[in-house]
Amino acid sequence: MLPFRLTVIGCGSALPTLRHNASAQVLDVHGRLYLIDCGEGTQRELRRQRIAMSRIGHVFISHLHGDHCFGLPGLLTTLSMLGGRGELHIHAFAKLEEMLAPMLAYHLSGSDLRPVFHAISTQGGEVVHEDSAVRVTTIRLRHRVPCVGFIFDEQPALPHIRRDMVDFLHIPHYHLNAIKQGEGWTDDEGRFYPHERLTTPAAPPRRYAYVSDTLPCPEHCETLGGADLLYHEATFCESEAARARETRHSTAAQAAEIARKAGAKRLLLGHYSARYNDENTLLAEARAVFPATETAQEGAVIDV
Amino acid sequence: MLPFRLTVIGCGSALPTLRHNASAQVLDVHGRLYLIDCGEGTQRELRRQRIAMSRIGHVFISHLHGDHCFGLPGLLTTLSMLGGRGELHIHAFAKLEEMLAPMLAYHLSGSDLRPVFHAISTQGGEVVHEDSAVRVTTIRLRHRVPCVGFIFDEQPALPHIRRDMVDFLHIPHYHLNAIKQGEGWTDDEGRFYPHERLTTPAAPPRRYAYVSDTLPCPEHCETLGGADLLYHEATFCESEAARARETRHSTAAQAAEIARKAGAKRLLLGHYSARYNDENTLLAEARAVFPATETAQEGAVIDV
């Protein structure tokens, strides 16, 4: 099966700690790499995890707090120094381009690397990118500043040809692609074999949802519906629920409640407050609500 | 003796490696902290080394390549989040303020922290800061972009009062400060004791010189004269001398030659190219010219 694989680059929150990096993830869909958020230190962690940053074609930034975007100047400059060329697409609020413009004008002058900024709406509900591997849709989150989440939907795959039927019916090779695309086959004696008898269905397309800094948003549960993997921020434990509300973050139990309501298959927690020395309490509180929960850790690789 | 102490935060060069951080150092003079350069990841390394970033009062940026300044937005934002208030002085080329302006306008809006940019000349030879602990002078370096080095001169200390003489002559306490400042003492019988008999000289003021990215600059040897500690970039080994010239960097042997000519007491190498897996060759090549050489390593603490 083609890869649909998440690697955690950083899962800490705003204050730096020695245990966690600032937010960043790499999603590999069919060999294409998508970077989701890019906190300070992302380029170095990519190197540590032996992910070639030159393979990243698209970057998605959920919001403009520093722990989600301060790694971009370094990443772009390094890519350029390494001889990177062509376009690197950055999907973010328009303000990000404005913020980085003078820095990039200076550091990428004369470079063959061309960052292309695509302004995304703060309102969510928008397909911000689509290619042959994925379609990326935003959802509007509720943080202190405008913030969106990203839903990565794998493009549906074509069905598998049944080799036994092809051999038995002596179907010529040049017709196989047409069958993959939906056609049937009529043999020399005029018997028709419908598409469904000649193929087995492809695996259903996979879905990854990235829910960044936010209060819990039950209004999105339907949109998130049945995500194979839901990443949801879980900055605080229940004992800090008031602080979560105040700073417009979620508790682990609230993240789990969203996963449960959305019918997600698995939940991945992250964006831990610097106050916690481990994630045991966060994990226990989430699992009490939604057992199929794991905590993100730098370097974790998860097949969606 | 009051501290005059260097801590290495990062001593790698432009391309990130897992072995070294981007350039940054903290100089502690009499308990005041000065940050010299601030590459990406500096705030986290400060935390690792348990240096309270809130104690940093002045930042000096040698030039605008990313590995020397991309850590600033994160450092300032974190300071602000931690409740930092008042002025933080940043001494750098005017262009840096321009580059960071939109980022800081967004991230420090409503903050009590106020970064104050002091534009320094690209020409060098300028006292860019002076307080009761140090005087900081620039020297103009020869890199691909404008770049300066910084010389930190400890302010001369007052001489030590000779307790034995004070007791013997029954000099009242209220006069001791005047003696420290240079006066003598006349006893009841009219005998005069000059300042020099009542005091022992203070330790000579110490000097630290930071020579960032540059071709070797023998024209500065006199200005660097007798530095107690000279940090000099040593990006390359001799076998890469042509590459050093081309990229306007120094080899370890060239750094050592500068230390020798300048009459430095000790030399500290840094800014190693990512191509080296260790610093053994760099160190050997430098020591052949100037034996009192060490290689910088993250976390190294050196009493100047």
| DSSP assignment of B223-245 | HHTT-SEEEEE--B-GGGHHHHH
> Is residue B33 located within the same domain as residue B90?
yes
The predicted-structure confidence for A186-232, as pLDDT tens digits, reads as follows 998 999 999 999 999 999 999 999 999 999 999 999 999 889 999 99
pLDDT tens for chain B, residues 1 to 304 = 899 999 999 999 999 899 999 999 999 999 999 999 999 999 999 999 999 999 999 999 999 999 999 999 999 999 999 999 999 999 999 999 999 999 999 999 999 999 999 999 999 999 999 999 999 999 999 999 999 999 999 999 899 999 999 999 999 999 999 999 999 999 999 999 999 999 999 999 999 999 999 999 999 999 998 899 999 999 999 999 999 999 999 999 999 999 999 999 999 999 999 999 999 999 999 999 999 999 999 999 999 9
Q: What residue type is A107 in one-letter code?
A: H
With vertex at residue A184, the alpha carbon angle to CA A182 and CA A188, rounded to the nearest 5 degrees, is 155
- Chain segment B216-256, per-residue pLDDT in tens: 999 999 999 889 999 999 999 999 999 999 999 999 999 99
A246 burial type by CB count under 10 A (0-12 exposed, 13-18 middle, 19+ buried)? exposed
Beta bridge partners of B109: none
Counting other chains too, the contacts that A32-35 makes at CB distance below 8 Å and 24 or more residues apart are A32/A57, A32/A131, A32/A133, A32/A134, A33/A57, A34/A58, A34/A59, A34/A60, A34/A134, A34/A136, A34/A152, A35/A59, A35/A60
- A16 pLDDT exceeds 90? no
pLDDT (0 to 100) of residue A1: 82
Task: For residues A246 and A264, state if they share a domain.
Answer: yes
Q: In this structure, are A101 and A148 located in the same domain?
A: yes
Whether residues B196 and B175 share a domain: the answer is yes
Same domain, yes or no, for A258 and A178? no
Cα(B201)–Cα(B198) distance, integer angstroms? 10
CATH of the domain at A9: 3.60.15.10
User: A–B: how many Cβ contacts below 8 A?
Assistant: 80
Last residue of a domain, one of B200, B219, B251: B200
Task: Judge if A81 and A177 occupy the same domain.
Answer: no
The rounded mean pLDDT for chain B is 96
Which residue of A17, A40, A42 is the best one to mutate when testing the B interface, meaning the one whose CB has the most B CBs within 10 A? Answer: A40
In terms of domains, do A170 and A297 share one? no
Catalytic-residue membership of A37:
no
Interface membership of B242 toward A (CB under 8 Å): no
Q: What ipTM goes with this model?
A: 0.90
Q: Do B84 and B168 fall into the same domain?
A: no
Q: Which structural domain, as residue segments, surrounds residue B186?
A: 160-200
The encoded tokens of residue B291 equal 């034996």
Q: Specify whether A167 is located in the same domain as A293.
A: no
B100: number of CA atoms within 13 Å, CB side?
26
Q: Are strands A160-161 and A148-154 parallel, antiparallel or unpaired?
A: unpaired
Best of A23, A68, A70 to disrupt the B interface by mutation (most B CBs within 10 Å)? A70
Radius of gyration for the alpha carbons in chain A, expressed in angstroms and rounded: 22
How does pLDDT run across B279-296, given as a tens digit for each residue? Answer: 999 999 999 999 999 999
Give percent above pLDDT 70 in chain A: 100
Tell me the pTM: 0.92
Tell me the sheet residues that pair with B303: B5
Cα maximum dimension of chain A:
75
**Is residue B144 less than 8 Å (CB to CB) from chain A?**
no
Q: Is the CB of residue A43 less than 8 Å away from at least one CB of chain B?
A: yes
Confidence (pLDDT) at B10: 97
Task: Provide the number of structural domains found in chain B.
Answer: 2
Q: 3-state DSSP call for residue B131?
A: coil
Amino acid at A282: L
Yes or no: say if B212 and B233 are a contact pair by the CB < 8 Å rule.
yes
**Are both A43 and A24 inside the same structural domain?**
yes
Instruction: Please check whether residues B26 and B132 belong to one and the same domain.
Output: yes
Same domain, A186 and A129: no
Angstrom distances, CA of residue B246 to CA of A79, A270, B251, B256: 20, 45, 12, 20
Domain edge (last residue) among A200, A231, A256: A200
